[in-house]
Structure 1
Amino acid sequence: MAWQRPTYRMVDGERIDGAWCHVWRRHRPEAEWFVNDLIVYADGAIMCGDRTDLAGLKKLLASEMLSPTKPGITPPAAEPSKWLSRHGEPLTPVGFLAEVADRIEELSGRSTAGERCWEAIRRYQQSPAAERRALLRDAYLAVPPHLRIYVLGDMDRQDRPLRVLLTERGEPVDGDGPMVTEDMHQSALDYFNRVDEGVARAQEQRAVQHADDSHEGTGPDVTLHETVYPRGWPEELGLFVLRNDFPASVRFAGESYPSVLHGYWSLSAANATDRRQIAAAPTAREAHDLGGRASRRADWPSVRLAVMAGLLRAKFAQHIELAEILVSTGDAAIRYTGLSDSPFWRDAPDSRGRNWMGRLLELTRSELIAQRSLAE
């Protein structure tokens, strides 16, 4: 089942994360089937036309009003050998219900069936006692049947080492596979030990490669909201001065602009007349509107980041009091929000928001701090 995300809904101001997939549905037993979205949320709510929950979804599946696979398709023939098969179990309504329950666990931040299976493997490695083996079997069988071949994340061996480990000595694996011996059990345990060693090596190497990725001391995110001051900007300076429409004159590339926004949109224009008109706009918002209507320079997509970075450096180098406010944000992530700027520049609650303004402000802040350190 292919799940898509992110999606979410708001409840009393709180964001509830979700994920969705396609299912087949009909409204009456004799009606035609149609494709519908099934959305699950971290709080257990399920939307498929109407709102329901796991118990309601179970009833829908049992009533044959909803199907995870296209109805009427002839299922593939049974594999001649379970042990030799490279395919997982077929997706069934029961397996789908288990997968939906697992998806809710994941969205809510709780461990999934696959993660609980790995926890049981770790406990059995520490002490391969009979009771722990029984718990491991239960954890493995709790994984949705059609997903079990993926639980180890090994597409060569799939879940075979686990199936060997859970088969009694002297019994054939899967009923038609090799007869399990003590050596096969030990080989399966050795496999998991090698996996642990590989994970430990990878973590050690990642710690070396990412040695500068410490988040210690990072403060809470700073969000720069888009604001409007109909009676004029406040006399007491605050975080709003970091916005591009704040009226702080900037001299850049031989020209002067009333604000960063004036400079950005003026420099984006292909025509000299448009550039002058944008630079002379009474407000930053008017400069933005004029710039949006003007013809763009052909190279603008390639140079706009460098231009914006240059304008920000100039702004904070030429206005020490504004630089102090930027530096006061410490090492916090800066989220630049609003609706007037495109998703390329602002932070948005979906995959479109790239927050380049926030990133460039963080870069400028880092440069200011580095310059002060060198000067000491």
Structure 2
Amino acid sequence: MTWKGPTFRTVDGERIDGVWCHVWQWDEWRDTYVVEDLLVYADGTVRCERTTDLAGLERMLDRELIVLRDPAAPPWEEPENKWEARYSEALTPEGFLLEVADRIEELAGRPTVHDRFREAVRRFQGAPTDANRSLLRGAYLAIAPHLRVYCLGDMDRQDRPLRILFTDLGEQVDGDGPVATAEMHRQALDYFRDREKAVARADERQAVRHADDPTSPGSPAIILNQIFFPNGRPADPGLSALRNDFPVTLRHAGDSYPSVHHGYWALSTAEEADRLAVRDAPTADAAHELGALAPRREDWADVRLAVMAGLLRAKFTQHPALAEILLGTGDARIAYSGYEESPYWRTARDEQGRNWVGRLLELVRSELHAAGTGSGISSPTGE
């Protein structure tokens, strides 16, 4: 069963995270099974056409209103030899319910059966006693049967070391495999010791490779919404000062522009007369419209990102008060929203927006920090 996400729903203003997968649901009108999305949420809500919970899902599975495999697919064939099988056990309604319950725990930020299993593995690796072996066995059996072969993350040995370890001496592993011997148990114990050393080496290597990773959580994302001011801009512009249509004169590429918007669209034009007309437009919206209608310079697709970066650098290095507003966003991700600008520059639904203005604002913010800016900003010409 492949889970996809993220998804969410909103309840009383609170976001409830979820994931979803495909199942086959009985359609009484068509008298057949149809593929449906089964959604599972952090609060335990389950939805597949109707809203229910884990107990309701169990009833739907019992009544075969929902099935987990394509009814037209060939029936599942049990392996002739379980020990030699290289794939997981069959997906059953009971196993699926265990998996769904664990997904709910994960979405809610609570320990999952996999978390408890990993902790049992760590305890056993640290002290391979009979008591810890028993705890490890219980943690292993709590995992949905169709997921157990993946629990060690070993695509070659899968869960075989565990199955050997849980088999008493003189008994056949899986009932049809080799007879468990003291040497096999020793090799299984060696596997876990070697695994612990390998994990420690990997952690040390990652600590070196990720040495520059932030050590504390970042600031919440900031959304720069497009705002209209029919009664004029307020004395304190707030975050709206970070938007490209904010009226502030900046010097760039040998000329002055009334806003980043004016500069961007003026520099996109092929003819000098059009550039001047856009530069002198009465508003940022007018500059946008004039620039968009004018013939475009041939290399614009290649240079527009650099032009935007230069304009933003000019804006915030030449105006200390605006730089303070940008620096005040901390290390937050900046999402540049809106309606009229291209998705290349802003956020958009279904991940179609590239948010380049937001990303460049984060870059300029970092450059301001690196330059030791604040109230005493050096003012490069931006030319």
Q: CA deviation at 1:113?
A: 2.2
Question: Corresponding residue for 2:285?
Answer: 285
Structure 1 length normalisation: TM-score?
0.89
SS of 1:25's equivalent in the other structure is: strand
1:108 aligned partner, one-letter code: A
Question: Corresponding residue for 1:34?
Answer: 34
Question: Corresponding residue for 2:182?
Answer: 182
Q: CA deviation at 1:294?
A: 6.1
Structure 1 residue 60 corresponds to structure 2 residue 60: yes
SS of 1:135's equivalent in the other structure is: helix
Separation (CA, whole Å) in 1 of partners of 2:265 and 2:17 = 36
CA offsets, 1:84-103, max 9 Å, x none?
11011122222222222222
Separation (CA, whole Å) in 2 of partners of 1:188 and 1:135 = 16
Separation (CA, whole Å) in 2 of partners of 1:242 and 1:254 = 23
Separation (CA, whole Å) in 2 of partners of 1:217 and 1:72 = 49
Q: Gapped runs of 5+ residues in structure 2?
A: 379-383
Separation (CA, whole Å) in 2 of partners of 1:39 and 1:297 = 49
Structure 1 residue 169 corresponds to structure 2 residue 173: no
Question: Corresponding residue for 2:84?
Answer: 84
Question: Corresponding residue for 1:323?
Answer: 323
CA offsets, 1:32-53, max 9 Å, x none?
1111111111111111111111
**362-371 or 173-182: which moved more?**
362-371
2:241 aligned partner, one-letter code: V
Question: Corresponding residue for 2:381?
Answer: none
2:146 aligned partner, one-letter code: H
**96-105 or 211-220: which moved more?**
211-220
Question: Corresponding residue for 2:96?
Answer: 96
1:101 aligned partner, one-letter code: A
**69-78 or 330-339: which moved more?**
330-339
Q: CA deviation at 1:223?
A: 4.1
Q: CA deviation at 1:262?
A: 2.4
CA contact (8 A) 1:25 1:33 kept: yes
| Match runs of 1:228-239 below 5 Å | 228-239=228-239
Q: CA deviation at 1:57?
A: 0.8
Question: Corresponding residue for 1:124?
Answer: 124
Separation (CA, whole Å) in 1 of partners of 2:192 and 2:285 = 61
CA contact (8 A) 2:88 2:147 kept: yes
1:168 aligned partner, one-letter code: D
Q: CA deviation at 1:221?
A: 4.5
CA offsets, 1:185-226, max 9 Å, x none?
222222122222222222222222222223448555444333
Separation (CA, whole Å) in 2 of partners of 1:217 and 1:2 = 30
Question: Corresponding residue for 2:21?
Answer: 21
SS of 2:39's equivalent in the other structure is: strand
Change in CA separation of 1:24 and 1:235 when aligned onto 2, cut-off 3 Å? same
Question: Corresponding residue for 1:192?
Answer: 192
Question: Corresponding residue for 2:246?
Answer: 246
Question: Corresponding residue for 2:362?
Answer: 362
CA offsets, 1:243-277, max 9 Å, x none?
11111123322343221122223434567666555
2:337 aligned partner, one-letter code: T
**265-274 or 8-17: which moved more?**
265-274
1:186 aligned partner, one-letter code: R
2:234 aligned partner, one-letter code: P
Q: CA deviation at 1:319?
A: 1.9
CA contact (8 A) 1:6 1:350 kept: no
Separation (CA, whole Å) in 2 of partners of 1:263 and 1:38 = 50
Change in CA separation of 1:295 and 1:156 when aligned onto 2, cut-off 3 Å? farther
Separation (CA, whole Å) in 2 of partners of 1:66 and 1:295 = 59
Change in CA separation of 1:210 and 1:350 when aligned onto 2, cut-off 3 Å? farther
Change in CA separation of 1:16 and 1:191 when aligned onto 2, cut-off 3 Å? same
Identity %: 56
Question: Corresponding residue for 2:146?
Answer: 146
Q: CA deviation at 1:165?
A: 1.4
Change in CA separation of 1:318 and 1:26 when aligned onto 2, cut-off 3 Å? same
CA offsets, 1:89-128, max 9 Å, x none?
1222222222222222222222332222121122222333
CA contact (8 A) 2:317 2:377 kept: no
2:175 aligned partner, one-letter code: G
> In angstroms, what is the RMSD of aligned CA positions?
2.9
Q: Gapped runs of 5+ residues in structure 1?
A: none
Question: Corresponding residue for 1:256?
Answer: 256
Separation (CA, whole Å) in 1 of partners of 2:265 and 2:283 = 12
Q: CA deviation at 1:54?
A: 0.9
Separation (CA, whole Å) in 1 of partners of 2:297 and 2:92 = 56
Q: CA deviation at 1:24?
A: 0.8
Change in CA separation of 1:287 and 1:28 when aligned onto 2, cut-off 3 Å? same
SS of 2:27's equivalent in the other structure is: coil
Change in CA separation of 1:327 and 1:29 when aligned onto 2, cut-off 3 Å? closer
CA offsets, 1:282-338, max 9 Å, x none?
322343455556666565444332221111011112223222322333444434334
Separation (CA, whole Å) in 1 of partners of 2:185 and 2:61 = 39
2:356 aligned partner, one-letter code: W
Change in CA separation of 1:42 and 1:293 when aligned onto 2, cut-off 3 Å? farther
Change in CA separation of 1:273 and 1:78 when aligned onto 2, cut-off 3 Å? farther
Separation (CA, whole Å) in 2 of partners of 1:99 and 1:295 = 58
CA contact (8 A) 2:82 2:176 kept: yes
Separation (CA, whole Å) in 2 of partners of 1:278 and 1:10 = 44
CA contact (8 A) 2:83 2:173 kept: yes
